[in-house]
């Protein structure tokens, strides 16, 4: 997620209580379908037949993550970066 933060930075995060607390531009950590946590930026929010979802992308990645992120996958929302 350079240049916003790197491996030497610390994130201050909060647990969201509802999907409405997550906005486009937020940096969130989520549990990926591959079984590990990922920290990426929300680039799109929508609703489909399964409900709320977000599309996320790393700031240096050319493509978004290959799946829709559901609210139950989101662990935390970043509120501050400490360098």
Query: pLDDT (tens digit, 9 = 90+) per residue, 3-52?
Result: 888 888 899 999 999 999 999 999 999 999 999 999 999 999 999 999 99
Strands (E), the chain: 10-14, 27-31, 37-48, 51-57, 74-82
Instruction: Compute how many other C-beta atoms are within 10 angstroms of the C-beta atom of residue 5.
Output: 17
Place of tokens 């969130």: 28
Read off the pTM.
0.92
Report the distance separating Cα 82 and Cα 19, nearest Å.
25
């Amino acid at each position: 997620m350079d240049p916003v933060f790197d491996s030497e930075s610390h994130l201050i995060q909060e647990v969201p209580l509802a999907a409405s607390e997550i906005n486009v531009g937020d940096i969130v950590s989520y549990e990926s379908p591959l079984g590990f946590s990922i920290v990426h930026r929300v680039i799109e929010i929508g609703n489909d037949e399964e409900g709320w979802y977000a599309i996320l992308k790393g700031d240096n990645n050319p493509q978004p993550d290959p799946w829709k992120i559901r609210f139950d996958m989101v662990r935390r929302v970043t509120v501050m970066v400490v360098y």
